[in-house]
Amino acid sequence: MTDRQPIPVATGLSHGGPVQAEHASNAVNQAMESAGIDRANGVILFLTEEFANDPTAAIRAAARVAGTLQVIGCTGAGVFTEQEWILDGPGAAAMVFGGDIRFGRVPENCCAEQPVLSLCTPAGLVAEWLDLPSPRVGGISADSFGHGPFKVWSDGRVSESGQVDTLFEGAHGAAQASQGIHALTAPIEISEVQGLDVLKIGNYPALNVLIQSLPEEVRQLRSLPYHLLAGGVTFGDPDTAIREGRYRLAHIVSANPGEQSITLSQPLHRGERLFWAMRNTLTAEREMARTIEQTVAQLRTEPDFGLLFPCVGRGPNFYGNRDRDLELLKSRFPGMPVIGFYGNGEIGPLDGSNHLYQYSAILSLFKSSH
């Protein structure tokens, strides 16, 4: 690694006690002290789900301390910086920007190659917003149970549209997704499908193919762990799609023993290539390590700060009270400012367009342009 020159970007974290706006102001104040600035050009502010009913006081508190209305963020099931993660209890994470790094408006039909920080509520996620020529990176506002309320904000106020985004002026970035699954089969052509129900793949009953592909110890379980299983639909050459990450996941809603079919979370089509996959921690760790290196290679330099957006079903809930994704990033770039939140879906690039991921982690690394 090369020596990282100090830039005025830093994070702060505050948690514990009751839900109070001071968590936001404390986090911003810590970040500004670390960055060595007394006024920020912009602030990323993530709040835990306890603030979702009305985050306005916390947003205003952050803006006052930072000396700017350029505050963007959302509520999540949990929040984190490179310092630590928070999943149980109220808290705030902030990243402040000084120097030449500023937030920029995202023009309509923006086609810049730079990642666009993109946050939304479940209701705010619409195809027209997601379909931007530039790569979107971010996530969907979340809580632990998916019931809401959900909030996103920019310009120092809650967004009524449920959508917010910004460009980073004075920095360039790169983004990659880590889906963290272990393929159980090769891609197989779907031969019979009805809406969400996959009946046959390769002319064999879909459920039978899945069960036969499972490890012996999993097949013997009284109840199969469908929450860890998924179908992957490949793009392009199926022989290399899994290795190169050219696939989207459709998670299993139910298995239907009578028809030997499987109901997935997304509709598929006859002729598409489907492989069965399983999530496990070892595969996820290895893929995250590769994702970090791929993102650095895309950036073509060592980064100055990072954004990480993991699913709430990943992170400590997946790794056993540790966030190995965050730990790997910290180990690779000690001391680098990192911020993120645990969401109900992840937004990132896939096969030349923007995609809604599940049970994944989206990483974006940035380098100051000056």
DSSP structure class, residue 2: P
Structure tokens at 282: 């070892």
Enter the DSSP assignment of 311: B
Predicted pLDDT of residue 5: 53
Q: Evaluate the CA torsion angle 93, 98, 101, 106 in order and state its sign.
A: positive
pLDDT of amino acid 128: 92
Q: What global pTM score does this model have?
A: 0.94
305 Cβ contact list (under 8 Å, min separation 6): 7, 9, 95, 171, 336, 337, 338, 365, 366
Mean pLDDT of the chain: 95
pLDDT of residue 360: 95
Q: 277, 138, 285: which is closest to 214 by C-alpha?
A: 277
How far CA 166 is from CA of 28, 138, 310, in Å, comes to: 19, 11, 19
Among 83, 15, 84, CA closest to 47: 15
Contact between residue 72 and residue 102 where contact means Cβ atoms under 8 Å apart: no
Tokens coding 135 = 């790569």
* pLDDT number for residue 111: 67
Give the tens place of pLDDT for each residue, 160-195: 999 999 999 999 999 999 999 999 999 999 999 999
Q: What pLDDT score was predicted for residue 342?
A: 98
Q: What is the DSSP string of 50-76?
A: GGTT--HHHHHHHHHHHT-S-EEEEEE
Res 347: pLDDT: 98
CB 71 within 8 A of CB 63: yes
Strand 261-264 to 247-256 pairing:
antiparallel
Q: Where is 250: in which H helix or E strand?
A: strand 247-256
332-335: long-range contacts at Cβ-Cβ below 8 A with a sequence spacing of 24 or more? 332/292, 333/1, 333/302, 333/303, 333/306, 335/4, 335/82
What distance in Å separates the CA atoms of residue 159 and residue 116, rounded to the nearest whole number?
A: 17
Q: What is the C-alpha to C-alpha distance for residues 362 and 183, in angstroms, rounded to an integer?
A: 20
Closest to 264 measured CA to CA, from 273, 255, 272: 255
Tell me which residues of the chain have a pLDDT lower than 70: 1-5, 110-112
Q: What is the pLDDT of residue 348?
A: 96
